Amino acid sequence: MSTSFSSPCAAPRRVYVDGACSGNHLPASSGLRSGGIGIYVEPAPGSEAEAACVSEPLRQTAEYPATNNRAELTALAHAIEWVCGDRSPVERHEAVLVLCDNHLAVSTYNSYLDTWSRNGYRTQRGQPIANLDLVQRLERAKALAQRRAHPVRVAEVRAHRTEPRDVAHDTLVWRDWHGNHCADELAVAAVGAPSVT
């Protein structure tokens, strides 16, 4: 998958996000679900700095139990808020590409937000959309991203692949595998952590 940028700047900083949920198949009332988010920000090219990472349990309540989609939407919103905030691991002059392996989260950010907002946060069939709290959080994060000098772009990355063989570690193929793999490990590690409600 290739993503083009019209910015004359250097290649964008790549930020990988993932969400995980244990017990996603169980009824919400079981109390056995647990979720987590992972964010992996590649170091700047040529930098000796370590990658910036987030691994946090998914906040859940009786009204909003952990699900895989909630974890993915939360990870995406959190990453955008982080790179646009005062404690950003990314310099303000850098373009940012956030890569997510969840099609729904990417489509929500890139396509559905505007339509849902115009339709009063209802589906084409007139039903209330799921995860409204996170959709509105993502909407606010997108507004932050659009105010940056160099906007934040969101694209889909292939998930759960094996490590590419016989490719240099500076190629996009390997970097995308590595970044997605790291974000996935961070999200899975957070699943077992205590959840803050």
- Give the CATH number of the domain where residue 134 resides: 3.30.420.10
Examine residue 183 and state whether it is found in any structural domain, yes or no: yes
Would you state the pLDDT for residue 47? 80
Q: 4 lies in a domain?
A: no
| Residue at 8 is within a domain | no
Least confident of 5-9, 78-82, 89-93, 129-133: 5-9
Residue 89 lies in a domain: yes
pLDDT per residue as tens digits for the range 109-154 = 999 999 999 999 998 899 999 999 999 999 999 999 998 888 799 9
Using DSSP's 3-state secondary structure scheme, residue 94 falls into coil
d(Cα 128, Cα 142) in Å, to the nearest integer?
Answer: 21
Q: Give the pLDDT confidence of 20-33 residue by residue, as tens digits.
A: 998 777 766 666 78
With beta carbons less than 8 A apart as the criterion, state whether 182 and 13 touch.
no
Residue 5 belongs to a domain: no
Residue 157 lies in a domain: yes
Give domain status of residue 29, yes or no: yes
Q: 107 in a domain, yes or no?
A: yes
Q: How many domains does the chain have?
A: 1
Residue 90: give the domain boundaries.
Answer: 13-191
Helices (H), the chain: 68-84, 103-107, 113-118, 132-147, 172-191
